[in-house]
Amino acid sequence: MELLILLPIILLVIETLMNGDASKPIWNGVIVLYILGLTYAYGSRCVGCAVYDDYANVYVKQGQFLRDNGFDGFFSLKTVTTEYFFYTIFWIIANLVKEVYWLWALSFVSLMFLYLGLRHVAKKQEIVAILTFASIGLSTQLVRQYMAWSMLLYLIVLVKNKNRIWMFLPAIFVHHSAVIFLIKYVASRFFSWRKWFILFVGIYLIKDIFIDYFLSIDHYSIRFLTSSSLEKDILDYNMLFVHRVVILAVFAILIPRYRSYVVLSSGLFILLLSMPLLPVRLNLLLLSHCYGIIFVALMRVLRLQKIKLIYIALLAALTFRTLYLQTGDFALWKTYNTII
């Protein structure tokens, strides 16, 4: 099934040789099949090889309960939250497919919502590029967050009428952090990027005083920092994404339409850098697709969208990387390495 990942490359090659473009229905079908193969590879990655692995330690057990008992007594479990729509989706998945495919199915739902949102704002090869650049770790470890934010992106694009704000509720009840995305999206439309930049510079200058003296927060005493983990310091996780924020900040000039949102997100990340996990989780969707967004922006600015050979070379390299990491028939991956 992993070979489905090759379909967009094959179609781009055919288009290049024929000097034409395939119809929209053909491309829609190819992208859906592509997501099917890509998430199959995602779903076969290593789970359970880290003590803080949410999927292995939380989601699998929840799925087993939903499969065996349904919702009878489910919400009395300690690990269960009030994110009802996610559990409804998980209940359907747990009863439709075998347990070994649950992570694949969850990732498939997430990327399908992402695709449905992207197809209103990006071209077909751009969508494939963004999906290919997607972070494997984020889409399979932060399962609820990734699904919620992808769904919310789709709903924001879909819902134009401000009076239909209630339609965002499904995403919020997949994971409550979707509220952050919604607030950031609304806030970015009210203030220019310059005002957000000045605001964050001002806040950053008094950050230590505000945290240490007014809030009396000693974040290094948080118990999670001393929990048993494979990293020496869980704050290292934040540092893995610093270069993405820097690149985004530099290339924000190439994306005028979303510049305010990028500056707002970058400012939040830097401001909360010393807090465990928060900077990444509050900026999940943007960070996880940073490379794809920048690549598409560059292609647009340089007006190279029609040069399909560039997309073919990029997708071929990333596809090789994805298939290289995955071995055997639904075998477990040995590392947590993302595509990049």
Tens of pLDDT, residue by residue over 163-177, are 566 678 888 899 888
Q: What is the mean pLDDT of residues 272-280?
A: 77
Number of domains present in the structure of the chain: 2
SS3 4: helix
More confident residue, 206 or 270: 270
262: left (phi over 0), alpha (psi -120 to 50) or beta: alpha
Q: Which of 140-144, 167-171, 279-283 is predicted with the least confidence, judged by mean pLDDT? A: 140-144
Residues with Cβ within 8 Å of 128's Cβ and at least 6 positions away in sequence, in order, are 8, 31, 34, 311, 315
Q: What is the mean pLDDT of residues 302-314?
A: 76
Q: Are residues 236 and 151 in the same domain?
A: no
More confident residue, 243 or 50: 243
Residue with tokens 């009428």: 161
Q: Are residues 214 and 90 in the same domain?
A: no
What confidence category does residue 65 fall into, taking pLDDT thresholds of 50, 70 and 90? very high
Q: Are residues 192 and 170 in the same domain?
A: no
What confidence category does residue 32 fall into, taking pLDDT thresholds of 50, 70 and 90? very high
Q: What is the CA radius of gyration of the chain?
A: 21
- Give residue 227's domain range: 179-281
Q: What is the mean pLDDT of residues 261-278?
A: 81
Cβ atoms of residues 116 and 286 within 8 Å: no
CA distance linking residue 170 with residue 166, whole number of Å: 9
Residues with Cβ within 8 Å of 100's Cβ and at least 6 positions away in sequence, in order, are 330
Q: Are residues 244 and 103 in the same domain?
A: no
Q: What's the pLDDT score for residue 332? A: 38
Residues with Cβ within 8 Å of 190's Cβ and at least 6 positions away in sequence, in order, are none
Tens digit of each residue's pLDDT (9 = 90 or more) over 185-203: 888 877 777 777 777 777 7
Q: Are residues 143 and 96 in the same domain?
A: yes
Q: What's the pLDDT score for residue 155? A: 86
- Maximum average pLDDT range among 105-109, 308-312, 330-334: 105-109
CA distance linking residue 44 with residue 58, whole number of Å: 17
CA distance linking residue 74 with residue 66, whole number of Å: 7
Q: What is the mean pLDDT of residues 59-86?
A: 89
227: left (phi over 0), alpha (psi -120 to 50) or beta: beta
Q: Are residues 131 and 261 in the same domain?
A: no
Note the pTM of the prediction, 2 decimals: 0.79
Q: Are residues 192 and 217 in the same domain?
A: yes
Q: Are residues 196 and 214 in the same domain?
A: yes
Q: Which of residues 231, 266, 281 is at a domain's end? A: 281
Whether the predicted pLDDT of 331 surpasses 60: no
* C-alpha pair distances (Å), 171 with each of 117, 143, 152, 226: 13, 13, 5, 32
Tens digit of each residue's pLDDT (9 = 90 or more) over 175-184: 888 888 888 8
- Residue 109 placed within a domain: yes
Q: Are residues 36 and 168 in the same domain?
A: yes
- Residue 165 placed within a domain: yes
Hey, CA dihedral for 280, 284, 288, 292, is it positive or negative? negative
What confidence category does residue 12 fall into, taking pLDDT thresholds of 50, 70 and 90? confident
Tens digit of each residue's pLDDT (9 = 90 or more) over 210-260: 555 545 545 444 444 444 444 555 556 777 788 888 888 777 776 777 788
- Residue 292 placed within a domain: no
CA distance linking residue 310 with residue 313, whole number of Å: 5
- Residue 153 placed within a domain: yes
- Residue 6 placed within a domain: yes
Q: What is the mean pLDDT of residues 81-105?
A: 90
Q: Among residues of the chain, what percentage have pLDDT more than 70?
A: 75
Q: Are residues 11 and 120 in the same domain?
A: yes
Mean pLDDT of the chain: 76
- Residue 265 placed within a domain: yes
- Residue 294 placed within a domain: no
* C-alpha pair distances (Å), 194 with each of 40, 112, 185, 262, 287: 42, 34, 16, 12, 21
Over the range 242-265, which residues count as b (16 or more CB within 10 Å of their CB) and which as e?
A: eebbeebbebbebbeebbbbbbbb
Q: Are residues 149 and 185 in the same domain?
A: no
CA distance linking residue 25 with residue 243, whole number of Å: 38
Q: Are residues 193 and 103 in the same domain?
A: no
Cβ atoms of residues 43 and 107 within 8 Å: yes
- Residue 296 placed within a domain: no
